[in-house]
Amino acid sequence: MLRKMEKLTSKERLKRCFFHEEIDRPAVYLRMYIDPSDKSYDRLRKLAWEKTDIKMDSGISMASFKNLHKLLEREESYSEDFKKKIMILKTPKGDLESIQYIGLKGQPSYTAKYFIETREDAEKYLSFEYPKVQGDLTEYFSFKEKVGDRGIVTAALGENPGGMVAGLCGTERFAMMSITDRDILHKIMEKRQNFILEMVKFYHKNGVGPFFWMSGEELITPPIHSPEDFDDFNARYDKPIIDLVHEIGGRVHIHCHGKIKKVLYSFLNMGVDVLHPCEAPPMGDVTAKEVKEIVKDKICIEGNIQIADMYEKSVDNIIEQTEKLIKDAFSDNKNLIVCPTASPYIFGAGDKCFDNYKAMVDTVINYSNK
């Protein structure tokens, strides 16, 4: 067992997680992307702010797909349960259209038409010129001031090149075009990669860092896509981005759900610093212990208590899961941020999951390496 450390601030603890250094206890973080109007989660919000290690996400507007593309939008009535949202992206070669149905009663939204469904659509998208990277960074610096020693602020790089293109096409169409039109998919990914590289340079020039996040890799993972596709569409474009972040002294957090066991070495070779959520079966295919055996001290595990368990399991079960996670992934006193696999997702059910969240948080905080 490593020596017992003095208690760290949340800011220092999270920094050491990103930089793979020894910490006094596992960090504990709650993803809280929930509707602010849902007051049932107020106690949970208070718990997160007062007792956990806080990561606040911030970024320039162009890290957002919507703001980058300056979409034209309109909404139409559709049914009692859904409204129809139409988005138009204007390009020199013609308009691209996406149609979504937005749930009005807490149901998940779904896309009925994607921007890219044919090679012609892809060529239209390629004709669209990305604007120069610029943006207001006030939010980032105000977040840093607000969080202080309670945590860190991560700057958005947005969707990775592969994930953005897969999202433009939709799962089925992207899989088909990866066979019939692979060349043009790569051209769009290269375009996105160049933009993100410029974004990293912009951040660095303006004093933003060292913590960055990116997502989207989960759209090109097994079993829908092979490990070879993961490398060709994800690692190929992500590694130069991560390398540049490392060159400027930064670190990168990647969010990727799903069955990642067959691509863990790819994340390792890409240089990913923090990986969330590392899901065990049945949602994923790899345990925290297996992840630790593969990545050792090179990647910080953020995870991996299944979000559904916060609503469905007992307090004792959550305590048991948390203790096992720490045992399996924290033997070297490094590289573990205990966290649910996702944000709370049931509207109005904040009181139902609160005790489980508190049990998880308290178990981590009360951990001792003596």
CATH code, domain carrying 271: 3.20.20.210
From 81, 116, 131, give the residue that closes a domain: 131
Percent of the chain at pLDDT exceeding 90: 91
Q: Same domain for 110 and 177?
A: no
Backbone conformation region of residue 343, classed left if phi is above 0, alpha if psi is from -120 to 50, else beta = beta
352 has a pLDDT exceeding 90:
yes
The mean pLDDT of 286-298, rounded to a whole number, is 96
Question: Could you tell me if residue 24 is inside a domain?
Answer: yes
Round to whole Å and give the CA distance between 346 and 35. Answer: 10
pLDDT value at residue 4: 66
Q: Same domain for 302 and 332?
A: yes
Confidence of residue 67 (pLDDT cuts 50, 70, 90): confident
Q: Same domain for 217 and 162?
A: yes
Confidence of residue 107 (pLDDT cuts 50, 70, 90): confident
C-beta of residue 219 within 8 angstroms of C-beta of residue 180: no
125 has a pLDDT exceeding 70:
yes
Question: Could you tell me if residue 5 is inside a domain?
Answer: no
322-348 confidence digits (pLDDT tens)? 999 999 999 999 999 999 999 999 989
pLDDT value at residue 1: 41
Average pLDDT of the chain to the nearest whole number: 95
- Residue 244: CB atoms within 10 A of its CB come to 17
The torsion angle over the Cα atoms of residues 167, 169, 171 and 175, rounded to 10 degrees, is: -130
Confidence of residue 35 (pLDDT cuts 50, 70, 90): confident
Q: What angle do CA 222, 223, 226 make, to 5 degrees?
A: 55
Q: Same domain for 168 and 116?
A: no
The mean pLDDT of 154-183, rounded to a whole number, is 97
183 has a pLDDT exceeding 60:
yes
Percent of the chain at pLDDT exceeding 70: 98
Q: Same domain for 210 and 322?
A: yes
Question: Could you tell me if residue 3 is inside a domain?
Answer: no
pLDDT value at residue 115: 98
pLDDT value at residue 233: 98
From 131, 159, 184, give the residue that closes a domain: 131
Q: Same domain for 331 and 243?
A: yes
Q: Which amino acid is located at 364 in the chain?
A: V
Q: Same domain for 315 and 218?
A: yes
How many structural domains comprise the chain? Answer: 2
Round to whole Å and give the CA distance between 216 and 162. Answer: 7
Q: Same domain for 330 and 345?
A: yes
Indicate the pTM of the whole model: 0.95
The mean pLDDT of 178-193, rounded to a whole number, is 98
Confidence of residue 369 (pLDDT cuts 50, 70, 90): low
Q: Same domain for 95 and 219?
A: no
The mean pLDDT of 293-304, rounded to a whole number, is 96
pLDDT value at residue 275: 98
pLDDT value at residue 370: 47
Round to whole Å and give the CA distance between 369 and 252. Answer: 27
Place of tokens 């790569």: 186
- Residue 236: CB atoms within 10 A of its CB come to 18
Q: Same domain for 148 and 104?
A: no
The mean pLDDT of 83-107, rounded to a whole number, is 93
From 131, 154, 184, give the residue that closes a domain: 131
279 has a pLDDT exceeding 70:
yes
Which residues does 107 contact at the CB level (< 8 Å), separation at least 6? 81, 82
Question: Could you tell me if residue 252 is inside a domain?
Answer: yes
* Structural domain harbouring 97: 70-131
